[in-house]
Structure 1
Amino acid sequence: MAKRKVEANPVSGRYPVSHGEVELLRDLDRPGGWLLTMSGVPQSYVDLDDPTYLDFEYVRLMADVIDAVPDGPLDVVHVGGGACTLPRYVAATRPGSRHIVIEPDAALVQLVRDQLRLSSVPRLKVRVADGRSGATGLRDTSADLIVLDAFNGASIPIELVTAEYMADLARVLKPSGTLLINIADGKGLAFARRVAATVRGTFRHVALLAEPGVLRGRRFGNLIAVASPAPLPVEVLSRKAAGGLTQARYVGENDLVNFIAGAPVIRDGGPVIVPVPPPELFT
């Protein structure tokens, strides 16, 4: 009789990774809940007992979009790994889905394997590479869904929101596929407007989802860009945004044009002011 593999329990603490140090914290309110932080900035939350539980508001917005995609397994590319929250969610809600995770920090990947049971996620492959080189090796029209959620600390790497990179992601996406991008910005939303302009310059159908206070620039927070070569399910996404646990607004079509307000496209090598969250945000 084959021996059953016994999974080790995660251990709270600080761990060195390739690009610094992360801290793994147990959620005292949920037995299976774990928070991964880097430099005091929350990076990922996973519930090992219930992968459909999503703690971060912006991740719930992304899940709302994923749930609006037609039923069935998906071929998904995740640019940015962390603790692999959304791969776990999609594996649980859409059995048979295949995942490619692009993550540049090899030690972080190993930590998530050792501590957070990454091997339990079926049909998941990790490519240790940065987002640009990792996407270059992907096949044309191979992804139903691309999730871009990659951060250095609290800022998205600029090279992952340029027109050139958007063109490469468009190459990988199927004609009916969906791209999701997590954008962080604050007062004035100048960066978010430029990212939206860049995405809209590549994809025919684009929208934003965000909490109203963030959209008004009243507080630093996350905006989710949704893009596709095909029409978006506007009514479904609007309803989910307004009625979900995270109260959000859907901004598309003419409203998105007004939001962009002529902001310039981001290109490789061009000047960009990267938004920095206020120090008290994560305290």
Structure 2
Amino acid sequence: MGRKRRTSDSEALEVPISTGIARLEPVPGEPDSWVLHVNGVPSSSITIGDPLRLDLEYLDWMSRVVDTAFAPGTTLRAVHIGAAGCALPRWIDAARPGSRQTAIDIDAELVVRVREWFDLPRSPALALRAGDGAREIRTFRDGAISLVVRDAFSGDATPAALRTPEFFAEAARVLGADGIYLGNVADRPPHTALRIELAEMRRHFAHLAIVADPGQLRGRRYGNVVALGAHAPLDAVALAKTMRRGPAVASVRAGADLDAFIGPGARS
């Protein structure tokens, strides 16, 4: 996969976008690799020649969830809310050829820029759409989607519209019986935002799990947690096994252990 022409390979590029500023930085010593910052927050790490490489640990965790939840060779109908540089859509396109994906981003100019900077798969393999994910999720048919990924931020927080009962109800509606919802939740101890979000998800998905750095769950640092929602049971044992093999080891909580983490007092 080739890279489209842009500035000198050794230079960072900063451009205005609809919501602020996007900055594309080369990774030192790796002329094929770039980090995309949106309004000062690292949003994607892209290696042009290797779409299977996912440097951000939470994206690696998400890829391992996909490989655990869906049989090898299964093609996906995926919706990504929060497109940024489309690192996970690129991975899915390479790992599961024939998948059809839609990536939605609130920033119309960013959607144009990532098409310019990165040689992304074309529609129907990957359709890019500018719009509000909380509204766009309503456009998909009941049970038509196998994977919904919510990875959208305003600064370092998830937009309020993507944490509402209405949003989770729509995500649950569009997922098929064996579908998976993945949410990237950035939080810090005592994990109030995460617990509130999980309590709301519990109202719409029969089965939940989380994947996170063990130290974060013990209350030591800020970081990303991957929240899973599904209509069908999740294989927490298989998930835990694959997370122990990853480059960034993660813990999995599900069932009664997760219920205890959420607690009875969490309120949306």
TM-score (norm 2): 0.93
Match of 1:165 in 2: 167
Aligned equivalents of 1:151 and 1:29: distance in 2?
Answer: 29
**3-state SS of 1:31 partner:** strand
1:23-58, Cα deviation, whole Å (9 max, x unpaired):
001112323211001232101111110000111111
Using the TM superposition, give the Cα deviation of residue 14 of structure 1 relative to its aligned residue in structure 2, in angstroms.
0.4
- Does structure 1 conserve the Cα–Cα contact (< 8 Å) formed by 2:3 and 2:48? no
- Does structure 2 conserve the Cα–Cα contact (< 8 Å) formed by 1:58 and 1:222? yes
Amino acid at match of 2:199: A
Listed as ranges, the matches of 1:42-121 within 5 Å are 42-68=42-68, 69-71=70-72, 72-119=74-121
1:42-87, Cα deviation, whole Å (9 max, x unpaired):
0111111000011111111111101112221100000110000110
TM-score (norm 1): 0.89
Aligned equivalents of 2:24 and 2:101: distance in 1?
Answer: 24
Aligned Cα RMSD in Å? 1.5
Match of 2:195 in 1: 193
Match of 1:8 in 2: 4
1:74-120, Cα deviation, whole Å (9 max, x unpaired):
00000110000110000000000000111111100100011112256
In structure 2, list runs of 5 or more residues that go unmatched: none
Match of 2:149 in 1: 147
Aligned equivalents of 2:249 and 2:161: distance in 1?
Answer: 30
- Does structure 2 conserve the Cα–Cα contact (< 8 Å) formed by 1:179 and 1:226? yes
The 3 A distance-change label for structure 1 pair 214 and 54 is: same
Please state if 1:204 is matched with 2:200: no
**3-state SS of 1:264 partner:** coil
**3-state SS of 2:198 partner:** helix
Aligned equivalents of 1:52 and 1:242: distance in 2?
Answer: 19
1:107-162, Cα deviation, whole Å (9 max, x unpaired):
00100011112256861112211111111111111111111100112111121112
1:166-205, Cα deviation, whole Å (9 max, x unpaired):
0011110001100100001002011111111111111001
Q: What is the identity percentage for the equivalent residue pairs of Structure 1 and Structure 2?
A: 37
Aligned equivalents of 1:152 and 1:92: distance in 2?
Answer: 29
1:218-253, Cα deviation, whole Å (9 max, x unpaired):
100011011110011222101012221111111000
**3-state SS of 2:31 partner:** coil
Aligned equivalents of 1:10 and 1:73: distance in 2?
Answer: 33
Using the TM superposition, give the Cα deviation of residue 10 of structure 1 relative to its aligned residue in structure 2, in angstroms.
3.7
- Does structure 2 conserve the Cα–Cα contact (< 8 Å) formed by 1:127 and 1:134? no
- Does structure 2 conserve the Cα–Cα contact (< 8 Å) formed by 1:91 and 1:121? no
